């Protein structure tokens, strides 16, 4: 039985009594989250040892200042949080400590949706922490914890506009659910955070979020409007008191060993494989990190999710490999956007550096990587990133070298200027190379409401026989205004016919693109409705001579419900000029001019319920014929240790004189979590178009922070011939060694 010290018992008892009433001393009149003063908090040096066990009974916790004033983002923006939260921050020479009590009314248990690493924390109760050690929005560390101890950690840069949720840190955390809420105790080694130890006074950016899922309530310490995320550092408060910090050596080595057994029709010459490799990380300066990798392996990565392509343009598949995702934000160049805003184009339309070009074939198959290195971080006012990777020859793919160099600075607050250079070069028998380079400028001003984005990029190179490839250009300028009510955005882009970044992604080239949208986001008192967003938007694509290629005119309505659900309705009038025929599931769309109308309706259920998911229906006319699409997902939680996710995407197309065809994708994923360190999953998907079943079975044991044992089975089966095309059974062991 744990013995609670009297001093700590007094603090916790007072907190339990206050949990039964609204926050003491806080006005019940709503505040303006954007105009409110940014709060100030202080950390204290620990006066004794801290045992991270999820019980704040160490005497030193009673010496820490209490942070307990939180303000709602939703459902009632600007009002005090309905339940009390107390956060304390301590530190010593080795760790930063956070102790938090999330109090609740007796009889209510927090919602714990999952124990998986990097979960969707919007589906359950959570505590979020944001630290900006340089107070500049360039190197921000954010952590979300649910009451079961599952964590989602991320790095962000450019004041939250670039988000890297694949970053993982090594730390110790314990949570405990009890009758009056839940408790979190956290210890983060200083080696996991970047900061300037030479600074005489440490002033960090800080914000915290308390999520109470059954109420669909989000409350932050630094008041924030609903459109801001906790990792937008400029909207956070300040943390002081962190004096005399020592960053440590910041050196870690992560070796791996693996054994793999390939089989299948396409692996006739393969035998059992044994391999080993090494990743090394070293903090060169407080802001600059060196990463090295040798004989890189990504066998533990999940398979790509199948997609149905009903367009004449390429599909974008996201990067999932850890080495390329960590600190990836510095390398981003191109169209940027997020799921919460309409911007006309995102990185799924154009990015000058697309890391999937390295070590993967055009079909997504792995190519051997000999090794490489990367230097990333901040040096004074500049953010820098340099990457070099070397691949090896495999079958028809020759050895290649990839180089990326990126720099970005902020000469004045809110204005960032940058440049990038990307090179892809054959290092085997060929001579081909491809060079991409560009400059970009972004401005965020007027309390963050005004956003200006621009870039200018070029590509050139050499063919395999040494002939030069002429320079081709691309560019963009966009201006947006987003305040709590209005949402206005306009964009212009242009891409030359042969603009071709060898390590990038371009969905559509040889065009000029204009875009505009106007919408409003009023909060209403309708029963069950939190906010609505009616809008109109339009796209116009022309060829470089000014001839109209595509026109899209859309009217839509988004509804956010108080229970956390969301509904979307839109109708689009569409014009398409097709110069060259293209095929969709065996049907041919002939050249011509097409003018048609299509619409869609989608509803996402509240994540607070044990059974949820998403439904979507769309269709209408389609290149002279008709299209009907029905899809969705069904998510069922059996406690917080078993998740079943079923998905379906059914598409039916009919063209005059050609009949009809269908394109379907079915998927099922089962996750079983024995704890936050012992995780299993089974994922099966069937693509009716390719008549293939892809299966991915994964076992993961996190035996120490950032140290894993993986056992993975991946299979691709041709259902028409009832044969296995590829099957890989892999066991991989990694161990993080910190010095």
Report the DSSP pairing between strands 511-520 and 486-495: antiparallel
Q: Determine the pLDDT at residue 11.
A: 36
Asked if the structure places residue 293 within a domain, the reply is no
Domain span at residue 151 reads: 6-22+36-240
Confidence of residue 73 (pLDDT cuts 50, 70, 90): very high
Q: Determine the pLDDT at residue 477.
A: 97
Asked if the structure places residue 176 within a domain, the reply is yes
Per-residue pLDDT reduced to its tens digit, 715-734: 989 988 889 988 888 898 99
Backbone φ and ψ for 7, nearest 5 degrees, come out as -65, -45
Asked if the structure places residue 155 within a domain, the reply is yes
Q: Is 118 left (phi over 0), alpha (psi -120 to 50) or beta?
A: left
Asked if the structure places residue 172 within a domain, the reply is yes
CATH assignment at residue 107:
2.60.40.1190
pTM of the model: 0.80
Confidence of residue 14 (pLDDT cuts 50, 70, 90): very low
Domain count, the chain: 1
Confidence of residue 312 (pLDDT cuts 50, 70, 90): very low
Asked if the structure places residue 364 within a domain, the reply is no
What percentage of the chain has pLDDT greater than the value 90?
Answer: 49
Q: Determine the pLDDT at residue 18.
A: 37
Mean pLDDT of 22-26: 41
Locate the DSSP E strands across 221-334: 237-240, 251-263, 273-283, 288-294
Q: Determine the pLDDT at residue 410.
A: 85
Q: Determine the pLDDT at residue 319.
A: 58
Asked if the structure places residue 727 within a domain, the reply is no
Q: Which residues pair with 420 in a beta bridge?
A: 406, 438
Asked if the structure places residue 728 within a domain, the reply is no
| Cα dihedral across residues 173, 176, 181, 185: positive or negative | negative
What whole-number distance in Å separates Cα of residue 282 and Cα of residue 717? 42
Q: Does residue 152 have a pLDDT over 80?
A: yes
3-state secondary structure 479-543: EEEECCCEEEEEEEEEECCCCCCCCCEECCCCEEEEEEEEEECCECCCCCEEEEEEEEEEEEEEC
- CA 349 to chain CA centroid, Å, is 17
Choose among 452, 436, 442: nearest CA to 417.
Answer: 442
What whole-number distance in Å separates Cα of residue 413 and Cα of residue 159? 11
Choose among 409, 408, 484, 410: nearest CA to 448.
Answer: 484
Per-residue pLDDT reduced to its tens digit, 206-247: 999 999 998 999 999 999 998 889 999 999 999 999 988 877
Most confident range, picked from 193-207, 357-371, 543-557:
543-557
Tokens of 531: 């906010």
What whole-number distance in Å separates Cα of residue 496 and Cα of residue 512? 9
Choose among 238, 286, 229: nearest CA to 43.
Answer: 238
The DSSP output letter for 329 is: G
Q: Does residue 100 have a pLDDT over 50?
A: yes
Asked if the structure places residue 444 within a domain, the reply is no
Those residues with Cβ within 8 angstroms of residue 557's Cβ, 6 or more apart along the chain or in another chain:
532, 533, 534, 535, 568, 569, 570
What whole-number distance in Å separates Cα of residue 703 and Cα of residue 655? 56
- Per the CB < 8 A criterion, the answer to whether 567 and 603 are in contact is yes
């Amino acid at each position: 039985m744990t013995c609670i010290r009297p001093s700590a018992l007094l603090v916790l008892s007072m907190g339990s009594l206050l949990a039964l009433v609204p926050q003491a001393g806080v006005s019940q009149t709503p505040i303006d989250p954007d105009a409110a003063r940014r709060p100030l908090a202080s950390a204290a040096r620990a006066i004794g040892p801290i045992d991270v066990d999820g019980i704040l009974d160490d005497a030193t916790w009673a010496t820490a200042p209490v942070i307990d004033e939180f303000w709602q983002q939703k459902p009632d923006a600007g009002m005090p949080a309905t339940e009390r939260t107390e956060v304390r921050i301590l530190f010593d020479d080795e760790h930063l400590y956070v102790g938090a009590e999330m109090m609740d009314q007796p009889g209510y248990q927090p919602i714990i949706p999952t124990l998986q690493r990097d979960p969707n924390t919007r589906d359950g109760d959570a505590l979020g922490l944001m630290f900006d050690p340089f107070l500049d929005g360039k190197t921000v560390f954010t952590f979300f914890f649910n009451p079961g101890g599952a964590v989602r950690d991320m790095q962000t840069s450019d004041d939250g506009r670039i988000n890297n949720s694949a970053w993982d840190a090594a730390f110790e955390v314990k949570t405990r659910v009890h009758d009056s809420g839940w408790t979190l105790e956290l210890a983060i080694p200083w080696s996991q955070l970047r900061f300037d130890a030479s600074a005489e006074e440490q002033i960090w950016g800080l914000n915290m979020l308390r999520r109470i899922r059954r109420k669909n309530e989000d409350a932050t310490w630094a008041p924030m409007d609903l459109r801001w995320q906790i990792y937008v550092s400029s909207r956070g408060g300040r943390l002081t008191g962190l004096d005399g910090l020592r960053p440590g050596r910041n050196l870690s080595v992560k070796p791996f060993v693996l054994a793999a057994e390939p089989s299948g029709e396409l692996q006739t010459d393969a035998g059992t494989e044994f391999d080993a490799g090494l990743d090394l990380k070293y903090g060169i300066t407080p802001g600059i990190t060196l990463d090295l990798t040798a004989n890189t392996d990504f066998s533990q990565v999940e398979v790509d999710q199948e997609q149905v392509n009903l367009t004449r343009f390429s599909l974008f598949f996201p990067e999932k490999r850890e080495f390329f995702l960590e600190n990836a934000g510095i390398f981003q160049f191109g169209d940027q956007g997020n799921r919460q805003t309409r911007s006309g184009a995102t990185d799924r339309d154009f990015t000058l550096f697309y890391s999937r070009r390295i070590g993967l074939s055009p079909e997504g198959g792995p190519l051997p990587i000999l090794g490489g290195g990367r230097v990333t971080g901040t040096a004074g006012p500049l953010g820098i990133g340099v990457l070099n990777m070397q691949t090896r020859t495999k079958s028809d793919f020759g050895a290649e070298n990839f180089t990326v160099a990126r720099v970005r600075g902020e000469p004045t607050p809110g204005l960032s200027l940058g440049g990038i250079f990307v090179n892809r070069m054959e290092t085997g028998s060929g001579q081909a190379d491809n060079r991409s380079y560009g400059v970009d400028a972004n401005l965020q001003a007027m309390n963050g409401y005004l956003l200006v984005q621009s870039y200018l990029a070029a590509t050139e190179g050499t063919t395999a026989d040494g002939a030069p490839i002429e320079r081709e250009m691309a560019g963009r300028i966009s201006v947006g205004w987003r305040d709590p009510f209005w949402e206005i955005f306009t964009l212009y882009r242009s891409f030359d016919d042969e603009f071709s970044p060898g390590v990038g992604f371009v969905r559509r080239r040889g065009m000029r693109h204009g875009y505009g949208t106007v919408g409003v986001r009023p909060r209403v008192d309708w029963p069950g409705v939190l906010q609505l967003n009616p809008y109109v938007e339009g796209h116009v694509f022309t060829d470089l001579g000014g001839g109209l290629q595509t026109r899209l005119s859309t009217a839509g309505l988004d509804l956010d419900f108080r229970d956390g659900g969301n509904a979307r309705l839109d109708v689009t009038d569409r014009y398409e000029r097709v110069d060259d025929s293209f095929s969709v599931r065996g049907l041919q769309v002939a050249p011509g001019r097409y003018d048609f109308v299509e619409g869609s309706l989608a509803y996402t259920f509240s994540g607070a319920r044990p059974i949820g998911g998403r439904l979507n229906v769309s269709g209408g006319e389609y290149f002279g014929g008709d299209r009907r699409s029905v899809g969705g997902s069904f998510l069922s939680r059996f406690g917080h240790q078993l998740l079943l996710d079923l998905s379906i995407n059914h598409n039916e197309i009919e063209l005059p004189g050609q009949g009809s065809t269908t394109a379907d994708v079915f998927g099922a994923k089962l996750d079983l979590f024995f704890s936050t360190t012992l995780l299993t999953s089974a994922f099966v998907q069937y693509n009716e178009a390719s008549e293939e079943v892809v299966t991915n079975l994964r076992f993961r044991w996190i035996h120490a922070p950032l140290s894993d044992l993986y056992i993975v089975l991946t299979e691709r089966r041709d259902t028409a011939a009832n044969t296995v095309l590829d099957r890989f059974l892999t066991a991989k062991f990694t161990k993080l060694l910190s010095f």
